[in-house]
Chains A and B, each alone.
Chain A
Amino acid sequence: MKNAIGREIPESIPGYQTPILFAGAFNTKPGMNRQAPCVKAIRPSETKLTDSLEAVFKKIPITDGMTLSFHHHFRNGDGVVNMVLAVAAKLGLKNLKVALSSVFPVHAPLVDHMKNGVVTALDTNYMSGPVAQAISRGVLEKPVVLRTHGGRARAIECGQLKIDVAFIAAPAADDYGNINGVQGPTACGSLGYAIPDAEYADNVVAVTDYLVEYPLTPVSIPQTRVDYVVKVDCIGDPKGIVSGTTRITKDPVGLKIAETAANVIKAAGLIKEGFSFQTGAGGASLATAHFVRKMMEKENISGSFALGGITGYMVEMLEKGLFKKLMDVQGFDLEAIRSIAANPNHMEISANFYASPFNNGCAVNKLDAVILGATEIDTDFNVNVVTGSDGVIMGGSGGHADAAAGAKVTIVVANLLRGRLPIIVEQVLTATTPGETIDVLVTERGVAVNPRRPELRDKLLAAGITVKDIKELKSIAESIAGAPDKLVTGQRVVAIVEYRDGTVIDVVRQLED
């Protein structure tokens, strides 16, 4: 079957529900009620503090086939996932489903749990490292479900991703289960991605190495949703959680792309009072913020908010009055943590508030401009951020498809050639974000505007920006690098790429040896 962007989706995929085909970014409507976890009561004398994870497993009890959820604010410094799954393996549990918002190289032990049948299903928004490689090689029988950050929140809230036990890596907690992310040795800032898990899981366990006197303040996840609190020695490695400072790239090509992207935003008429903006922490994305900032300073403009993963650079813009608020779902560096702990205009928001398509309005809808990356983009503007040039999974949508759908102007920044590889292809290997939600592609050798946005094209032309057809950019790339051979994939599906509304936008097929 072909979905709305022409991707071939099998009619049935073993280990996955009957696929609902992607029908367009806003064409699939919800038809359900919200998920309702069971109602609980606890007597005044009861305590939540439990000696060990093993004791928690027995008290709940956690049994074969359950879904355990985790959040990824600790990124490559996370200790909780490995700790919990080691207990599961020790207790001989089988067929668990792990719902971890993002998987990092530190989660390598998950591969053995998969091989040993402890974990037989994975649900995530992004994965890199040994787990992603093992999945690509077919370590699991069931396909992995790859979601967007907003899509995961939606799936949890709508009961499509039912969580039996949510483990919350808690930088600070009290013995009654109040949690925040801004105190303690493993402070990570916002706990945004953990909030839907805590809200809708049947059981919630706080795992902390920093237990404070009751009541903890401020509270991100309240005691009313937490069943157990476990104190362990160490929940993560601060070095892997945040970087010291996030710096603007010095790569001249990246800077050239960033400057052009900023000019596109200006040409679109968005640099004005109340401007709202989202950008990533890496390379050309963050550098775009730098050039946008210069424009805002020059014209003495104050923006309304910056959204998403927050870096020190955004904090500086907040403190200088260039943005009035930050809406933070995840902190990237120490400055972001310092700011969210102290500044009332730096808000912690949940994944749901950030990006879920099925509620009464998420924050991405209020964005003027978003800057996104891509590993491939096709001539129909569909973007791949899941599979690398070798066909192996090396990422995921995260908030990519969410922000693209919400923002007034969505700009993809990318080197036209990454090494030798042209970024523009006839058809992306894996579609993550539909072309209808991408407005502009900015490369070092030219800008292309989605033909669906003729009025935007006119604005860029009026501002003196040279606009090329995306097919012309593709042939420029190929004249430099030669036309690449196509990667050959097999038939077996190793991952389903769900769009934010839960429809199947694409599948990832296993590579043939």
Chain B
Amino acid sequence: MELRRSMLFIPGNSPGMLQNGGVFGADAVILDLEDAVAPNEKDAARILVAHALNNVDYGASEKVVRINPLDTFGHEDIKAIVPCEPGALMVPKVQTAEDIKKVVELVAAAERTGQKAVKIVALLETPQGIHEAYNIAKADQRVVALALGAEDYTAALGAKRTKEGTEIFTVRSMIVNAASAAGIQSIDTPFTDANDEEGLLQDTIVAKQFGFKGKMAINPRQVDVIHGVYNPSDTDIEWAQQVIEALRKAEAEGSGVASLNGKMVDAPIVSRAHNIIFLAQLLGLRKEIE
């Protein structure tokens, strides 16, 4: 499974930012044709992003393009962007599984033969979309993640958006659960104050606690903070290594039950330990891990 700890928005009509999008080490860059682009510049941004996809080296970052909704410029976006082989499209304001199916049809039609299938990240930012989260997640196998857009969602509710995020407590749970039930990832809403590093840190810790697999970022400076939260700590890694060691010992002794510090090592613990080791190896955090 791809890492999507951080998904960094890059405005789609800004050549200077598009050309540098790959240097910040985000797991994914989201080249944005929607909110970051004025209606009369949609054509320019679409062509620019298409050329950026074909020419700019985004390094290890997954290339995601946020298209416009189908009722505005979405059709043109898909036609122009899909052949340039983005890793995924982020589809905004998804309300129902039907929305995804329409997008998938257009994407399939736009794909060139032999092209790697373009994945879909569904951005849920309306009460209906949240309500339909599970169905959306299951709508097509191209859907790899549900992402929460809290600004539009709270606006629709008429709730005040706060840094503490009490107003999105429930939707966070719903999205994480729906995504998990469908076996895909969940990505948390961005923290919109780029100057508040401490606020971002706290908000990301909360997101991780909820079970989100990553967080969107609206400024490159946010990427390292987000990774700092999502990367396993030295203590995590040591603990995971001890769990694996305890398992081995139990197997060697022919015992069916492993224990660590007097506690039984059961399946959920093993699974968590494996995840930590997997992530640590992927990120090169510990060289001595086998």
CB neighbours of A480 from chain B (8 A): 19, 56-57
Closest chain B CB from A251 CB (angstroms): 10
A77 to B207, CA, bound (A): 51
Closest chain B CB from A248 CB (angstroms): 11
Closest chain B CB from A247 CB (angstroms): 12
Decide: B221 and A255 in contact? CB cutoff 8 A: yes
User: In the complex where A444-B20, A444-B23, A445-B23 touch, is A252 in contact with B57 (Cβ < 8 A)?
Assistant: no
CB neighbours of A266 from chain B (8 A): none
B220 at the interface (CB under 8 A from A): yes
B219 at the interface (CB under 8 A from A): yes
A256 at the interface (CB under 8 A from B): yes
Decide: A252 and B19 in contact? CB cutoff 8 A: no
A152 to B224, CA, bound (A): 44
Closest chain A CB from B47 CB (angstroms): 19
Decide: A256 and B24 in contact? CB cutoff 8 A: yes
What mask results when residues 52 to 83 of chain B are scored 1 for a CB within 8 Å of chain A, else 0?
A: 00001100000000000000000000000000
Report the nearest B residue to A445, measured CB to CB. Answer: B23
A253 at the interface (CB under 8 A from B): yes
A479 to B219, CA, bound (A): 26
Q: For the complex, count residues of B whose C-beta is within 8 A of A.
A: 10
A255 to B221, CA, bound (A): 8
Within 8 A of B (CB), among A440-479: 444-445, 479
Report the nearest B residue to A257, measured CB to CB. Answer: B23
What mask results when residues 243 to 264 of chain A are scored 1 for a CB within 8 Å of chain B, else 0?
A: 0000000001101100100000
A255 to B222, CA, bound (A): 12
Closest chain B CB from A134 CB (angstroms): 32
What mask results when residues 409 to 421 of chain A are scored 1 for a CB within 8 Å of chain B, else 0?
A: 0000000010000
Decide: B23 and A253 in contact? CB cutoff 8 A: yes
A444 to B20, CA, bound (A): 9
A255 to B224, CA, bound (A): 12
Within 8 A of A (CB), among B211-244: 219-221, 224
Report the nearest B residue to A464, measured CB to CB. Answer: B284
A256 to B219, CA, bound (A): 12
A255 to B223, CA, bound (A): 12
B220: contacting residue among A252, A417, A479, CB under 8 A: A252
* Chain A interfacial positions (CB closer than 8 Å to B): 252-253, 255-256, 259, 417, 444-445, 479-480
9 additional contacts (CB under 8 A) given A253-B220, A445-B23: A252-B219, A252-B220, A252-B221, A253-B23, A255-B221, A256-B220, A479-B57, A480-B19, A480-B57
Q: List 22 A-B contacts (CB under 8 A).
A: A252-B20, A252-B24, A252-B219, A252-B220, A252-B221, A253-B20, A253-B23, A253-B220, A255-B220, A255-B221, A256-B23, A256-B24, A256-B220, A259-B224, A417-B19, A444-B20, A444-B23, A445-B23, A479-B57, A480-B19, A480-B56, A480-B57
